[in-house]
Amino acid sequence: MPPNVPAYVLETLPSGARIVTAELPDRPSVSLAALFRVGSRYETDAQAGVSHFLEHMFFKGSAGYGSAKAIAEAIEGVGGVLNAGTEKELTMFWTRVPRNKAGLAVDVLGDMLFRPLIEQEEMEKERAVVLEEIRMYQDSPQDHVHSLFEQITWPNHPLGRDVAGTEDSVRGLTREHLLDYLERHYLLRNLVITVAGPLSHRQAIELIEPHLRPRGNGADPPAFLPSVANGQRPRVLLKSKKTEQAHVCLGVHAPSYMDKDRYIIDILNTVLGEGMSSRLFLEVRERLGLAYDVHSWVNKLYDTGVLGIYAGTEPRQAARAVAAIVSELRRLCEEPVSEPELTKAREFYKGRLLLQMESTSTVATWYGGQEALMGTIQAIEDTLAQIDAVTAEDLTRVARELFSQSLQLAVIGPFRSEAPFLKQIA
């Protein structure tokens, strides 16, 4: 076990909730994360945005603390942080506080999650906030282009929708919709709670268990709609807009987090577009001067995934930038990655992971995310060993599998036609 990463203890309580603890006796903070396996892909079109809306409402008042102000002051009053995030398959709430305030953190988070008020008046206020959040992302082309890319990657599917929903769907959500969704999805057997910091496993259980309250009628939480195979032809989704910069996202379907190749795709992504020594940065930015920001990313889900590339560029250079990116994808298929470059990518990935583990909040989410999504936890030394096992032949094989698919491209900028872009990815 690396020196800064603790072993974990996992226990399933009689209620069905799973508790994961990682004891770090010398840390000055304790982090608590509550992860429900629910997110935007579990929603119907009419419900779009309900998971995200509910996440907001948990902060708007609880039976024990009353108002949103009281909840915030309880944690911020001791210097702590309290936050949450909704993804496509997971909703996570987390707090980090000084080590002697663990009981307060459990009390606040427990009251928020199991005794929320969800009052009509507060809901209407928050509806306006969520609508402004949607508009904010739509007004930010470097963010909005990612949503367009998801639409074209998973057309007519929940995975292709924005996590926050649409303005129409959010306006249509009622208090009854939120309460029904809460009772169907936010169940104890759908919950993983992780604690990282100077608490023993037994101390953590004794703090947490009294706050857990049953929900639902005993039925299993609804399943999500399976993903669809990528049988698409190359496509371009263009949003014509007067912007100073063109924003492009392109990519393909990729392995899921359950796939045997999940670490190979991570290293392939590192070689391609992670950091200032990656191929995309060195070629598209440094050598050709076509973009200030160019990078790639991987998003892995239960039964699918995506490898995407983003670039922001001068509109007159946008098609050329796309051509340069596609050339780098072809190069990965045709030329083996050298051993020095592969070693650098492995060390980059492992180093970033280990540095993140210096934070109790990352330790909590590392263990909790695996258990919530995969139903199993892989120790970090096993992850590091799998990274070290990736070969140049693995990278070439996976690159050829990935880029034999049709590329999908989203563009925002002052363009009248998709044709120049379609020509580059066809």
Report if residue 220 sits inside a domain.
no
Residue 97, CA distances (Å) to 4, 28, 94, 355 in order: 19, 9, 10, 20
Q: Where are the alpha helices (DSSP H) in 77-219?
A: 102-114, 120-138, 141-153, 167-172, 175-185, 201-208
Q: Which domain holds residue 101?
A: 9-211
Task: List the structure tokens of 334.
Answer: 């045709």
CA pair distance 226, 216, nearest whole angstrom: 24
Q: What total number of domains does the chain contain?
A: 2
**Chain centre distance of CA 33:** 15
Residue at 82: amino acid letter: L
Q: Residues 324, 370: one domain? A: yes
Residue for token pair 């509806």? 127
Statement to judge: residues 175 and 258 lie in one domain: no
Query: Which tens digit of pLDDT belongs to each residue from 343-352?
Result: 999 999 999 9
DSSP string, 271-296: HHHSSTTSHHIIIIIIIT---SEEEE
Residues in the chain predicted with pLDDT less than 50, given as ranges, are: none
Asked if 151 and 269 sit in the same domain, the reply is no
Percent of the residues in the chain that have a pLDDT greater than 70, as a whole number: 98
44 and 193 assigned to the same domain: yes
Catalytic (active site) residue 393: no
Domain boundary among 154, 177, 211: 211
Last residue of a domain, one of 176, 211, 246: 211
Instruction: Supply 275's token pair.
Output: 């950091």
**85, β-bridge pairs:** 92
Are residues 200 and 274 located together in one domain of the fold? no
Question: Same domain for 253 and 163?
Answer: no
pLDDT of residue 200: 96
pTM for the structure as a whole: 0.94
In a domain, 228, yes or no: no
Q: What is the CATH number of the domain that holds 32?
A: 3.30.830.10
Q: Which of 23, 43, 55, 371 does the annotation list as catalytic?
A: 55
pLDDT in the model for residue 230: 64
> Both 317 and 184 in a single domain?
no
Q: What is the DSSP letter of 407?
A: P
Residue 229 belongs to a domain? no
Helix (H, G, I), strand (E, B) or coil at 50: helix
Same domain (yes/no): 249, 194: no
Question: Quick one: 160 and 241 in the same domain?
Answer: no
Q: Is 34 domain-assigned?
A: yes
Residues 70 and 207 in one domain: yes
321 inside domain: yes
219 inside domain: no
Regarding whether 281 and 322 lie in a shared domain, the answer is yes
pLDDT at position 217 is 87
